Amino acid sequence: MVLNVFRKTEADVSDEAKAFINSLPSTFMNLFRKKRNLIPVWSSSKYCVMIKATFLVYYRASKEPHQPATSTNGQASDDRHYKFINLRHCHIKIVDDDNLGNVFVITPEQGRGSVTFAADSEKDRAKFITHANNVQRDVPRPTDFQTLKLIGKGHYGRVILAKDNHSQLFAIKEMKAGQVKHKVIHTERMVMEWVGDHPFVLGLDYAFSSGRSLYLISKFMPGGDLFLHMQNHGGSFPEAVVKFYASEIVVALAHLHTMHILHRDIKPENVLLDVDGHVKLADMGLSKRLESKHSRTKTMCGTDAYLPPEMVSRTLQGHGLQVDMWQL
């Protein structure tokens, strides 16, 4: 069963889904005062408020306000009691009161369980409202896309070319539970969220679930992949072309490795080209986020023709970020 992290209320979000949401990067983070639920007074401690994907995630902050909420691998690093609210199904109201400060109230659509926060400044409140509005405005529905044709199919599912209401082209990767392991589905989405808007890495524009399927939506890359271009050039490229593509792939890998993300499936089929012929490194399903740049892992995965020696020999030390460079 696909984790449904798009439900309306916190009660509908499973512990497994909460752990997945916590693994995602924050697009917003700040400390706010919070009004208590049962009595009309403000909490003595501030709360760390984050936006992750479409969710508001918050918890009571520690005495050290700059202490990180997550460990280096993106998972919760302690026993804080995290609360989750899906911003897609909420109304946000600004309350202007000189006595209370810069207050805003988040109310779920069903009208129960409102949460009231207060920012230290109008600027901080406005920044939160802007981020929340972007979440509520930008998340599409399946009906917002018109299917054009099937452009790819494999063990992971299929890739569909579609266009939105503004005629912009997107590649929709559909993965079905049962055909693809949950870990692969969630890893790909998590890594695509982490890499952000990088010029040489394929980013994630939208993600949503429907039934037993999860859809990852990215801008369509009309240049195809390097494997296709290699075939059209007799199986190889001139040295100058190799240098051009390799330099952009190295920059893409440097970006991933800065965040301790190991790709593990570098091959021509996973290198797409945009409309200007620049590289977009894709297919993050076998990726893994390590604890540090020196960490190692022992899972054998990838494509046989590109397996590095550390994987083939099953060394006790495992493998680290270096295997991506070997595959390149």
Per-residue pLDDT of the chain (328 residues; tens, 9 = 90+): 344 444 444 445 667 678 778 888 888 999 999 998 777 788 889 999 999 988 899 999 875 544 444 444 444 445 578 999 988 888 999 998 767 789 999 998 875 678 999 999 999 999 999 999 888 776 677 788 999 999 988 777 899 999 998 899 999 999 887 777 777 788 888 888 888 789 999 999 888 887 788 889 999 999 999 999 999 999 999 999 999 999 999 999 999 999 999 999 999 999 999 999 999 999 988 888 888 888 998 888 888 899 998 888 887 888 999 999 999 9
Residue 12: per-residue pLDDT: 56
Q: Which residue has the tokens 């190295």?
A: 250
Same domain as 117, residue 104: yes
Instruction: Provide the residue count of the chain.
Output: 328
Residue at 109 is within a domain:
yes
CATH number where 163 lies? 3.30.200.20
Q: Which residue has the tokens 């926060």?
A: 117
Residue at 5 is within a domain:
no
- Which of 119, 138, 157 is the endpoint of a domain? 138
Cα 177 to the chain's mean position, in Å? Answer: 19
Q: 120 an active-site residue?
A: no
| 224: CB partners within 8 A, 6+ apart | 272, 273
Question: What is the distance in angstroms between the CA of the first residue and the CA of the last residue of the chain?
Answer: 35
Q: Which of 225, 265, 283, 324 is catalytic?
A: 265
Residue at 126 is within a domain:
yes
Residue 11: per-residue pLDDT: 44
Is pTM beyond 0.85 here?
A: no
Distances (CA, A) of 271 to 115, 160, 280, 323: 45, 18, 6, 17
Q: Using CA atoms, how far apart are residues 159 and 174, in angstroms rounded to an integer? A: 6
Residue 111: per-residue pLDDT: 59
- Which of 183, 201, 219 is the endpoint of a domain? 219
Residue 248 CB: number of other CB atoms within 10 A? 19
Same domain as 156, residue 44: no
Same domain as 157, residue 191: yes
- 42 has which bridge partners? 35
Nearest Cα residue to 9 out of 84, 106, 93:
84
Residue 322: per-residue pLDDT: 93
CATH number where 253 lies? 1.10.510.10
Same domain as 177, residue 131: no
| In the chain, alpha helices (H) | 15-23, 122-138, 182-195, 226-232, 239-258, 309-312, 322-327
Same domain as 119, residue 23: yes
Same domain as 230, residue 212: no
| Annotated binding-site residue? 219 | no
Strand order of the sheet with strand 206-210? 146-154, 157-163, 169-176, 213-219, 206-210
- Which of 106, 123, 138 is the endpoint of a domain? 138
Q: Looking at the 3D structure of the chain, how many domains does it have?
A: 3
Residue 139: per-residue pLDDT: 65
Q: Tell me, what DSSP letter sits at residue 120?
A: S
Q: Note whether 114 and 63 are within 8 A (CB).
A: no
Question: Which tokens hold the place of 212?
Answer: 């037993």
Question: Which tokens hold the place of 137?
Answer: 């405005």
Print the domain residue range for 99: 10-138
Q: Using CA atoms, how far apart are residues 279 and 276, in angstroms rounded to an integer? A: 9
The DSSP string of 33-50 is: EEB-SSSSSB-SS-EEEE
Same domain as 255, residue 168: no
CATH number where 39 lies? 2.30.29.30
Residue 186 CB: number of other CB atoms within 10 A? 21
Residue 71: per-residue pLDDT: 46
Same domain as 110, residue 17: yes
Same domain as 111, residue 55: yes
Same domain as 317, residue 230: yes
Q: Which residue has the tokens 């309306």?
A: 8
Residue 79: per-residue pLDDT: 53
Question: Which tokens hold the place of 207?
Answer: 């993600």
